[in-house]
Amino acid sequence: MMRLDKYLAHCKLATRSEAKKLIRSEKVSVNGTIIRNADFQIDENKDHVMLVDQLVSYSAHTYIMLNKPQGVITATKSEHKKTIFDCLDFNSKGLFPVGRLDKDTEGLLLITDDGDLTHQLLSPKHHVDKTYYVEIEKPLNEKHVKMIREGIWINDEEKCMPAEVQVINDFSLYLTIQEGKYHQVKRMMHACDSEVTFLKRIKMGPLVLDEKLKVGEYRLLSESEIKMLLALKK
C-alpha cells in the first residue's frame, strides 16, 4: 500500500507537491473514481491509477497482464468483434498484444507499448518458453509423448522444436513450447491423433498468470515482474 501522491511521484510523473496539486484539481482517478485526497492509500500492484485518461505505471512503458477470456480476438481493432482491448477500461492507445492467442484460447496475454521487449519475447531466436494447460479429446500414448519431446512433425514440411510435456491424466496435460507457430498446440495434438478441447496459457518466459485474476480481468505488472522481463532485453 502507498499514498496516492507518493505513487505519482514514484512513477516519476510529478514531484510530490505537483502530485498533490494534480489530485486537488481532480485529475487523478483510482479504479474509475476521482480521488481528491493525496493521502488516499492505493495498492500499487492492483489499483488502476489514471492521470486524466492515461494509465500511470512505474516504468516508462506500460505492461499489462490480461487473463484473456474465450470469445475475444487478439487484434488491435475490430468493428464487429470483441477484442482484447474491450477488456481494458482505459485508453489503450499505443498498446499492443505480445503474440496471439486464438479466439477460443484463454489465459496469459501480455499487453504493452514496449516494442523492444515484444520483439525479444516473440523472436524465435530467443526461445522463450510458453506453457499451456491443455485438455484433449483422446489420451496420448507413450509414442506421442516421445514424438513431442523429440520434435513433432505437424505436417509434411513443418517440424516443431522439442517441447516439454507433463501428462496430468488421460485428458489433460501441461505443454511447454518455445515457438509460436500458427495454431501450434492444436496442430501438435492433432498430429497425436487427438484434438484440443480447452486451451489456456499459464506462463510466458518469467511471467506466470496470476491465479487471482479471474477470466477477463487484468492488472499492471508488478515492479519485480517488469524487472524480470527487462532482464531478457540484455
Catalytically annotated residues: 102
Least separation, in Å, of the C-beta of 22 and ligand URA? 41
Provide the grid cell at 28.
Answer: 487523478
Smallest gap from residue 139 Cβ to ligand URA (A): 19
Q: Classify residue 221 by its DSSP letter.
A: P
- Nearer of residues 57 and 67 to ligand URA, judged by Cβ: 67
33-39: Cβ within 8 A, 24+ apart: 35/4, 37/4, 38/3, 38/4, 38/5, 39/3, 39/4, 39/5
Nearest to 195 by CA among 140, 138, 145: 138
DSSP letter string over 41-105?
EE-TTT--EEETTEE--SSSS-EEEEEEPTT-B--S--SSS-BGGGG--S--TT-EESS---TTE
Q: Which is nearer to ligand URA, 89 or 195 (CB)?
A: 195
The least CB distance from residue 106 to ligand URA, in Å, is 9
Identity of the residue, 14 or 204, whose beta carbon is nearer to ligand URA in the bound complex: 204
State in angstroms the smallest separation of the CB of 39 from ligand URA. Answer: 44
Residue among 204, 183, 203 at smallest CA distance from 195: 183
| Minimum distance of ligand URA from residue 33's CB (angstroms) | 35
**Identity of the residue, 38 or 111, whose beta carbon is nearer to ligand URA in the bound complex:** 111
Question: Cα torsion for 97, 100, 105, 106, to the nearest 10°?
Answer: -20
Query: Which residue ranges make up the site for ligand URA (CB under 6 A)?
Result: 101-102, 105, 183-186, 199
Based on CB atoms, which residue is closest to ligand URA, 44 or 106? 106
